[in-house]
Amino acid sequence: MGQLALQRVSPLPSLPRRLPSLPPPSSYSPSLLFATASRRPRRHGFYLVRAMSSHIVGYPRIGPKRELKFALESFWDGKTAANDLQTVAANLRNSIWKHMADAGIKYIPSNTFSYYDQMLDTTAMLGAVPSRYGWKNGEIGFDVYFSMARGNDSVPAMEMTKWFDTNYHYIVPELGPDVEFSYASHKAVDEFKEAKALGIDTVPVLIGPMTYLLLSKPAKGVDKSFCLLSLIDKILPIYKEVFDDLKSAGARWIQFDEPILVMDLDTNQLQAFSDAYSHMESSLAGLNVLIATYFADVPAEAYKTLTSLKCVTGFGFDFVRGLETLDLIKGGFPRGKLLFAGVVDGRNIWANDLSASLKTLQSLEEIVGKDKVVVSTSCSLLHTAVDLVNEVKLDKELKSWLAFAAQKVVEVNALAKSFSGVKDEALFSSNSMGQASRRSSPRVTNAAVQQDVAAVKKSDHRRSTEVSARLQTQQKKLNLPALPTTTIGSFPQTADLRRIRREFKAKKISDIDYVQAIKVEFEKVIKLQEELGIDVLVHGEAERNDMVEFFGEQLSGFAFTSNGWVQSYGSRCVKPPIIYGDVTRPKAMTVFWSSMAQKMTQHPMKGMLTGPVTILNWSFVRNDQPRHETCFQIALAIKDEVEDLEKAGITVIQIDEAALREGLPLRRSEQEFYLDWAVHAFRITNCDVQDTTQIHTHMCYSNFNDIIHSIINMDADVITIENSRSDEKLLSVFQEGVKYCAGIGPGVYDIHSPRIPSAEEIAERINKMLAVLDSKVLWVNPDCGLKTRKYSEVKSALSNMVAAAKLVRSELIKS
């Protein structure tokens, strides 16, 4: 199949040379920035260098209308060939580079595109392919690459987990002392050459060796205490080969992404970091080196270690989430080095306050000198939506408050121009008016909501009965067997189902026809679960486009985009709502649908809700008040919904908190405060239900072991939690003696892979769980929701899951 090495294709046609004249200041908005950006001069296809120092850490790869997603899924389904996928990918890369060049960016990144994930790309570059995929040598192709990402009929995928505190997922490298590294993917060099052929000189970006190793895990069979940093001497020779190839291709710069430096690294780790870059110094000769950090400020010791490196030309810091970054710089910055100042937020969609950012840049000028400051994004723009120009349905006022990736590129260059003395007064005036409009708009603030939030802080909102007693009361009502089976919520979202929702939204079908169509889908899902013998059912969420958007559309204070997609993993994209104002629930959101579904069966039917912390963490959140204030507002809205479901006769209610771990601050000193308010927000939602109402929650694809006590403190009756893709890592917590009295369902199979596990394999997993968990509290369920799978896969996998539960049940009875 296709190679990761990139084929040459014709670039996209150039944008028209003539641009519309600039609109008057009153009509300026970030949505117009790209359209009105002055084009960069070109001569014979090659871009001329401008004096303004501007830089982008990285850029979204999915395309403005998810072109990469559709190309990937078509390729995976066998509908298109590798060449077709490569052509779509090359066109996307070319358009991204041209956009940045046209906007006037000086330091343009390459190798930030990926067919699946940048950490997986690094694994491919290093030839660190786990042996189960059968790869021996040569350039890694799509077959091995996508098998590592997604699994195949024979072997499971590699573990997937969250990239720091974002909703992006990376593929976790599996390493050990016997891994033989080799230069097995030339993607970084090929992309640099591809951009160079367009006349665009780029900065190739690599995941730094420290970040790569410290985000890896010991492979299966390798002792968990294995020191991953012991492999540093084995991977550096591969990095050196990449440097040599880049220099031969004409590269003048290289960027190492080392976000691991914002974490709490110990002295040995910092020394290993310093040694690694010192060791690479001679190989980097002839290249300007940028080390980019992001997502927080760098701790003082790490800052000292980083800025003492002699081989580095420039240092990149986050001035948005790095609240202490400016103070660090004031404390000392190496003479003659460049400071890449991340003043434009790469993780949110709010228009930059240009005047405030300019003041920050001027403060830096006083410390390091004007010619040493490079204006940059706080992190890769991967974490924000692609282009505001495609949002034709957002109202003018709200749109004036926003900037997506394409607009942020122009913001960076506008700041760089202004910083160099060429200030666009009209643009700054328009930006200032947008900032003032947002501060004063009556749609942002609701005094009653703020009073309600102030009141909830006076109680800890715990249910009055202990969980062990509640479970006994619930069992009398539910009468469930040992090892009860359930699923997480969603069932496959078919093309017909998505078409029905689109037609309803476009008012092409009536309310009655829509309800009838959804009812038919409910009946199909419920009948399937009953035939399979599942104990606690779900309605499949046919009425929902997304687990956050569905609720946000029914809450005040939220706005929604048409094309504001952000990559979560692989081809999976999400469209985060925008929380711009105080949140209330005007009316019930799910009671009609849950009541309809419960009437179709005698089995318990879960009411399905998304929890306040997950709604918060999976949205673009307002930045004009503390996040916990917004979270408590959402919690009160969900509390009203929980109580209405209970009144409607729903006895099992699941409040998903899939993203609770995701929001955990990167530094230990800040984590306790976050966990306190996040757990409190969850408890608010269900503190007043009856003991007979069983409250479930669900968490997925993060490392939960270090917050297990906070999970217990949530006081849910049952928690279902990802477990299988991470090699039962969760179970080690209970092996270490943590006592968990509530119901718990560690996932028994990975839903993000098309692979269908056998009943025997699932039974083996259940027995592993029973070695550390009481059968009275253990539930049997998949890792996550089933919306991304096909019905043929779901039916087979759930059939095997139920058969495994019955098999183990019978063994328990015998014993």
> Is pLDDT of 736 > 90?
no
Confidence of residue 43 (pLDDT cuts 50, 70, 90): very low
> Is pLDDT of 489 > 60?
yes
- Tens-digit pLDDT profile for residues 420-439: 999 999 999 999 999 999 99
- pLDDT score for 438: 96
Q: Produce one character per residue of 790-801: b if its CB has 16 or more CB atoms within 10 Å, e if not.
A: eeebbbebbbbb
- pLDDT score for 254: 98
- Tens-digit pLDDT profile for residues 308-339: 999 999 999 999 999 899 999 999 999 999 99
**Which position has the higher pLDDT, 249 or 34?**
249
Residue from 55, 383, 696, 752 carrying the catalytic annotation: 752
Q: Which amino acid is at 76?
A: W
- pLDDT score for 268: 97
Contacts of 250 (CB under 8 A, 6+ apart): 192, 196, 201
- pLDDT score for 325: 92
Structure tokens that stand for 736 in this block = 């270490």
When the pLDDT of each residue in the chain is averaged and rounded to a whole number, the result is: 91
Contacts of 657 (CB under 8 A, 6+ apart): 611, 613, 614, 682, 697, 698, 699, 714
Q: Report the range out of 599-608, 654-663, 701-710 with the highest average pLDDT.
A: 599-608
- Tens-digit pLDDT profile for residues 382-411: 999 999 999 999 999 999 999 999 999 999
Query: E strands along 370-418, which residues?
Result: 373-377
Domain ranges of the chain: 466-813
Confidence of residue 26 (pLDDT cuts 50, 70, 90): very low
Residue among 207, 271, 274 nearest 238 (CA): 207
- pLDDT score for 185: 98
φ, ψ dihedrals at 386, nearest 5°: -85, -55
Confidence of residue 737 (pLDDT cuts 50, 70, 90): low
- pLDDT score for 772: 87
β-strand pairing of 169-171 with 160-162: antiparallel
Confidence of residue 113 (pLDDT cuts 50, 70, 90): very high
- Tens-digit pLDDT profile for residues 674-701: 999 999 999 999 999 999 999 999 987 5
> Is pLDDT of 19 > 80?
no
- pLDDT score for 654: 98
The C-alpha atoms of residue 521 and residue 564 are separated, in whole angstroms, by 28
What pTM was computed for the model?
A: 0.89
- pLDDT score for 243: 98
Structure tokens that stand for 538 in this block = 């779900």
- Tens-digit pLDDT profile for residues 541-569: 999 988 999 999 999 999 999 999 999 99
The C-alpha atoms of residue 580 and residue 394 are separated, in whole angstroms, by 13
> Is pLDDT of 366 > 50?
yes
Average pLDDT over residues 367-373: 96
> Is pLDDT of 32 > 50?
no
CB 748 within 8 A of CB 782: yes
> Is pLDDT of 652 > 80?
yes
The C-alpha atoms of residue 255 and residue 263 are separated, in whole angstroms, by 19
The C-alpha atoms of residue 513 and residue 490 are separated, in whole angstroms, by 22
Residue among 748, 750, 809, 803 nearest 781 (CA): 748
Q: Is 279 a catalytic residue?
A: no
- pLDDT score for 722: 81
- Tens-digit pLDDT profile for residues 190-237: 999 999 999 999 999 999 999 999 999 999 999 999 999 999 999 999
Helices (H), 537-657: 549-552, 591-598, 612-617, 627-647
The C-alpha atoms of residue 108 and residue 104 are separated, in whole angstroms, by 10
CATH topology of domain 466-813: TIM Barrel (3.20.20)
> Is pLDDT of 49 > 60?
no
Confidence of residue 174 (pLDDT cuts 50, 70, 90): very high
